[in-house]
Chains A and B, each alone.
Chain A
């Protein structure tokens, strides 16, 4: 679906933060993915209109990033690492167990659309091998039994994990006086606001 009314307003807000509308493309893609769980064609078309890009350009940009999705995923995205450290500590077996117990292939989604299982390259948690992510939240030193318990907890709602749209994890409220105050380079007539703040010794 296309952007909701609330997200249209948020999109306008995001676009206003950038010197050029086109620069807002990726934040808007996050917004659309947070809304639908993946990037719908309608949302990409709408984003193209908002930032002045063709739908092909929008999809081409999104397609460069693995965490933008073009197909619906399960509620929980399970990424099992099989890179070297996890491999040595049983990552492969963990992935195999995950697929078997959920009844899906790697990359597949369960029939109830709850879980999608994917194989991940190193997710930089080698000290916690074998590790996995649920909606990009880490779980370390996982045994197959731990995995089954985790799935049960998720099914029963005993564990609360935010959606796999990444905007929830990156969005932050920046007070108005801390905004960079950027203008397009061709319109810049004076030093940027942040430079003045830095020079005044205000840091943070």
Chain B
């Protein structure tokens, strides 16, 4: 017997034309690729088929004569004949539409979906011209708020199962479900349990009628008044592709675009609704300055750009380069990052530049580790090692991709995180290192995977079968291990994770997906916004005199500078004359609130470049330059895998706010006339970046235009990191009544952008202190008690909660809960933070 060769293609006949389909593909998809559109409501290419709506009925002949079949449920088979235009097909589709319209209100003129509604469009194309239904239609109370942002109009719902399927299959938050039966079937939530999903906005986008609407867009515009442009989401580092839609110079809606390599059309609600902050009345529309900081009567006053830039120029010109520092820049486009790098390093000559605020990883390590893409991590049958943040909280669309890969494609997840994550219930192995000991545990895991028994996990006392099992799984993974690497807890210093990464780079085939969180942080590192680096992953020390960079930039810093912690320490000592915060808020983001405070107050002049006056600027800035937002300037974005995609200007910035690159260019020109000549558009800047940085040579404009959806992947770093890092694992035992602190970020917090998003503002969870129920007894603690979490460095007030996801002996707080900044508890450089709980 000969083995059956799997076929590469399956030949089917669509309306008499022979078509090559992919084996296993559904008929509706095969027809669509061949150019024949079959109408549908429930079918969605990114979800499993259900055959709910019957709209895609077509006549199919598989050898027994033509019969009507739902083409979304029929996989193609060799020799299949399809007739999409036959009388029977047309009559079936016409009949389905007439049935759907029996209960669907004809309120298209007042419906938000009108004009872009699949039901409306397909009724016009395939349906009856008139209704025979003269009876009264069904009525329901409406609209029903099924969450803070999403509203349900039951009369319009056609029960296609898209939203409920999304909630269950894609998001894993099955908080909406069909309830009732037959004529009484309806989409509903459980009593008092709203559809509080981080991804709820996707259901609005995929609803084929106007049954689901989202608060930010309800009754704001008609689709035909909107114009749209393809851009990139800016709130996290996944770089989801989006369509930004605006009318009359105001962004009104952001939709997910289906980039196969990135977000598959999905968005987190923060990516989708984050644009609301850009429309806030509190946006800075012009520079503001104040003569002194601290006195209560010394308020900011509005200033002209000339006056504000002159003040900054004078300060920069008067300071010696090593007394100037620039923090932040992850908000910027690649082009603006390059211009700020050039201003700081090439014009001013300081290397005290850091886009990460101590909450990321060693930039040289990130740029040196063998990189994996999202697709690599989600490769069927692969293994993902998560040593980093909860993707559900910090990198929404990456979470959706990983979840899909684990659930559907047999990806094995091993997580090494100090607390449970949104993926824990899907993880094959969950190891919970005590805060401070991640690197040690990873070292044991790697050793055990290389040689079972090496780490003594089996024979240790107590035995650790979880470690042995995880190691075995890792050893069996072969060359498919992708490490999602980031900071799970900001109470654990970066050095711990850096050391863990070095341990892992000893695994022969491990590749890394850096789970750095903030916006375009990868672009910032690639553009040299980090100490000791210049654009293009080149060390400052390695820049040759005849290199294009040295030829292009007026000067280079004399030596490697300080990172964010170093800058703040120097500023606190009084050693920083000018501190520029480019979209940075160290007071809230740096893992030592006291040092951030002292640094901000200690710098002679603090200049902020931002959309809002954030807490740091409010505390210390004397000049705040109004910057354009992400929908207001052209440029490119580099996501966490190194994929460069376009960000497009859709509207004009408020007032006289300027693009970040223009501000940097203006300052450069004032300090060093001629240093930016010719750099008058983002394309020109990109051309110069491609000239000075070999890594960026692949992003010339025509390359980006070739595939605007998927973007261009920068050459992936392929060399294993060779940095030597000695890290002694800290392993402190908490004393009586003490806990090891875990501080992890949440999707919604008290960050300045979210504060200005009306629909997200109320979603930041109130401060909680979460401990394992097992820890409650001895300390006499009760859930719901108002407590004060106290460390040696500060305290915050919170509500005590029991959480099985927090290991015994640890206490978890959210990073930036309203009124309870976790960084008040932490001192920079401390390996392990011990806290106590006091009842209030």
Interface residues of A (CB under 8 A from B): 41, 44-45, 53-60, 63-66
Kindly state whether residue B193 has any CB partner on chain A within 8 Å: yes
Additional A-B contact list (15), CB under 8 Å, known A54-B193, A64-B178: A41-B192, A53-B174, A54-B173, A54-B174, A54-B177, A54-B190, A55-B191, A56-B177, A56-B188, A56-B189, A56-B193, A57-B177, A59-B177, A60-B177, A66-B181
Distance in angstroms from B173 CB to nearest chain A CB is 8
Q: Of B173, B181, B191, which contacts A41 at CB under 8 A?
A: B191
Question: Measured between C-beta atoms, what is the minimum distance from A88 to chain B in Å?
Answer: 26
Q: 9 shortest A-B CB distances, which residue pairs?
A: A60-B177, A55-B190, A63-B179, A56-B177, A56-B190, A54-B174, A64-B181, A63-B180, A60-B179
Residues of B with C-beta under 8 A to A63: 178-181
Contact B190 A59 (CB under 8 A): yes
Which residues of B have CB within 8 Å of A41?
A: 190-192
Residues of A within 8 A of B168 (CB): 57
Instruction: Give every chain B residue within 8 A of A59 (Cβ-Cβ).
Output: 177, 179, 188, 190-191
Minimum CB–CB distance for B554 against chain A, Å: 61
Residues of B180-201 at the interface with A, using a CB-CB cut-off of 8 Å, are 180-181, 188-193
Give the complex CA separation of A44 and B191 in angstroms: 10
Q: Is B311 an interface residue (CB 8 A)?
A: no
Closest to A53 in B: B174
Of the candidates B168, B177, B188, the one having the most CB atoms from chain A within 10 angstroms of its own CB is: B177
Q: Are B178 and A54 in contact (CB under 8 A)?
A: no
Interface assignment of B491: CB less than 8 Å from any CB of chain A:
no
In the complex, B176 has a CB within 8 A of chain A: yes
Complex-state Cα separation, A101 to B179, whole angstroms: 34
Query: Would you call B175 an interface residue if the criterion is a C-beta within 8 Å of the partner chain's C-beta atoms?
Result: yes
CB distance from B741 to the nearest CB of A (A): 29
User: Shortest beta-carbon distance, A96 to chain B, in Å?
Assistant: 25
B155-179 vs A, CB cutoff 8 Å, 1 = contact: the mask equals 0000000000000100001111111
23 A–B contacts from the bound complex (CB under 8 Å): A41-B192, A45-B190, A54-B173, A54-B174, A54-B190, A55-B191, A56-B176, A56-B177, A56-B188, A56-B190, A57-B168, A58-B190, A59-B177, A59-B179, A59-B190, A59-B191, A60-B177, A60-B188, A63-B178, A63-B180, A63-B181, A64-B180, A64-B181
**Which residues of chain B are near A57, meaning CB under 8 Å?**
168, 174, 177
Q: Which of A53, A55, A56, A58 gathers most chain B CB within 10 Å? A: A56
Interface size classification for chain B: 10 to 19
Q: Kindly state the separation between the CA atoms of A54 and B181 in the bound complex, as whole angstroms.
A: 19
Contacts from B to A (Cβ < 8 Å): 168, 173-181, 188-193
Chain A's nearest CB lies how many Å from the CB of B799? 21
Chain A residues whose CB sits within 8 angstroms of the CB of B175 once the complex forms: 54, 56
CB distance from B199 to the nearest CB of A (A): 15
The minimal Cβ–Cβ distance linking B132 to chain A, given in whole angstroms, is 27
Q: How far is the CB of A144 from chain B (nearest CB, A)?
A: 31
In the docked arrangement, what's the CA distance between A63 and B192, Å?
A: 17
Interface centre among A41, A44, A57 (most CB of B within 10 A): A57
Chain A nearest CB, measured from B186 CB (Å): 9
Report chain A residues within 8 Å CB of B180: 63-64
Residues of chain B lying within 8 A (CB to CB) of residue A60:
177-179, 188
Q: Are A44 and B181 in contact (CB under 8 A)?
A: no
Q: How many angstroms from the CA of A65 to the CA of B179 in the assembled complex?
A: 10
Do residues A55 and B193 form an inter-chain contact, with CB atoms below 8 A? yes
B-chain residues with CB within 8 Å of residue A58 when the two chains form the complex: 190
Instruction: Provide the bound-state CA to CA distance between A204 and B177, in Å.
Output: 40
Q: How far is the CA of A45 from the CA of B175 in the complex (A)?
A: 12
Bound form: Cα–Cα A55–B189 in Å? 8
Complex CA gap A66/B193 in Å reads: 23
Distance of B426 from chain A, by nearest CB (Å): 12
> Which residue from chain B places its CB closest to the CB of A59 in the assembled complex?
B190
Smallest beta-carbon distance B233→chain A, Å = 28
Closest Cβ of chain A to B138, distance in Å, is 17
Chain B residues within 8 Å of A64, by CB: 178, 180-181
Provide the residues of chain B in CB contact with A56, threshold 8 Å. Answer: 174-177, 188-190, 193
CA distance A64 to B178 in the complex (A): 9
CA distance A125 to B193 in the complex (A): 42
CB neighbours of A54 from chain B (8 A): 173-175, 177, 190, 193
Which residues of the partner chain A approach B176 to less than 8 Å between Cβ atoms?
Answer: 56
Closest A residue to B186 using CB positions: A63
Instruction: Give Cα distance in the complex from A57 to B191, angstroms.
Output: 12
CB of A28 to closest CB in B, whole Å: 16
Determine the residue in chain A with the shortest Cβ distance to B192: A41
CA gap between A17 and B193 in the complex, in Å:
30
- Residue of A41, A57, A60 with most partner-chain B CB within 10 A: A60
The CA of A59 and the CA of B191, in the complex, are separated in Å by 9
Cα–Cα distance between A53 and B180 once the two chains are bound (Å): 18
Measured CB to CB, the closest approach of chain B to A29, in angstroms, equals 14
Complex CA gap A57/B165 in Å reads: 12
List, in ascending order, chain B residues with CB within 8 A of A45's CB: 190
Cα A45 to Cα B192 with chains together (Å) = 11
> What residue in chain A is nearest B190 (Cβ atoms)?
A55
How far does the alpha carbon of A56 sit from the alpha carbon of B187 in the complex, in Å? 10
Q: Are A44 and B190 in contact (CB under 8 A)?
A: yes
Residues of A within 8 A of B179 (CB): 59-60, 63
Q: Which residues of A contact B173 (CB under 8 A)?
A: 54
Q: Which residues of A contact B193 (CB under 8 A)?
A: 54-56
Of chain B, the residue at the smallest CB distance from A63 is B179
Distance of A59 Cα from B175 Cα, bound (Å): 10
> What distance in Å separates the Cβ of A41 from its nearest Cβ neighbour in chain B?
5
A residues within 8 A CB of B181?
A: 63-66
Q: In whole Å, how far is B171's beta carbon from the nearest beta carbon of chain A?
A: 11
Q: Which residues of B contact A53 (CB under 8 A)?
A: 174
Once bound together, how far apart are the Cα atoms of A65 and B182, in whole Å?
Answer: 11
Q: Hey, which chain B residues are within 8 Å of A55, CB to CB?
A: 190-191, 193
Which of chain B's residues have a CB closer than 8 A to the CB of A65? 181
> B168, B181, B191 — which one has the most chain A CB atoms within 10 A of its CB?
B191
Q: A153 → chain B, closest Cβ, in Å?
A: 34
Bound complex: CA of A57 vs CA of B172, how far in Å?
Answer: 12
Complex: how many Å from CA A65 to CA B174?
20
Cα separation A117 to B178 with both chains bound (whole Å): 27
* CA distance in complex: A58, B175 (Å): 10
Distance of A123 from chain B, by nearest CB (Å): 18
A58 to B192 alpha-carbon distance, docked (Å)? 14
Closest to A54 in B: B174
Which of B173, B175, B179, B188: most chain A CB closer than 10 A?
B179
Chain B, Cβ-Cβ closest to A45: B190
Q: How far is the CB of A69 from chain B (nearest CB, A)?
A: 13
The residues of A that contact B178 with a CB separation of less than 8 Å are 60, 63-64
In the assembled complex, how far is the CB of residue A152 from the closest CB belonging to chain B, in whole angstroms? 35
What is the bound-complex CA distance between A54 and B179, given in angstroms?
A: 13
Chain A nearest CB, measured from B422 CB (Å): 14
Q: Give complex CA distance A44, B188 in Å.
A: 15
Q: Whole-angstrom distance between the alpha carbons of A60 and B180 in the complex?
A: 7
Q: How far is the CA of A64 from the CA of B181 in the complex (A)?
A: 5
Q: Which residues of A contact B189 (CB under 8 A)?
A: 56
- B406 to nearest A CB, angstroms? 16
Central interface residue in B175, B188, B189, B190, by most chain A CB within 10 Å: B190
Q: How far is the CA of A66 from the CA of B180 in the complex (A)?
A: 8
Q: Which residue of B lies closest to A44 (CB)?
A: B190
Bound CA span A54–B176, Å:
9
B188: A residues at CB distance < 8 A: 56, 59-60
Q: How far apart sit A59 and B179, CA to CA, in the bound complex (Å)?
A: 7
CA distance A44 to B193 in the complex (A): 12
Which residue on chain A has the smallest CB distance to residue B195? A56
Q: How far is the CB of B601 from chain A (nearest CB, A)?
A: 49
**In the assembled complex, how far is the CB of residue A70 from the closest CB belonging to chain B, in whole angstroms?**
9
- CB B802 to nearest CB in A, in angstroms, measures 15
CB distance from B194 to the nearest CB of A (A): 10
Closest partner residue, chain B, to A52 (CB atom) = B425
Residues of A within 8 A of B191 (CB): 41, 55, 59
Complex: A53 Cα to B177 Cα, angstroms: 11
Q: Which residue of B lies closest to A61 (CB)?
A: B177
- Residues of A close to B190: CB separation below 8 A: 41, 44-45, 54-56, 58-59
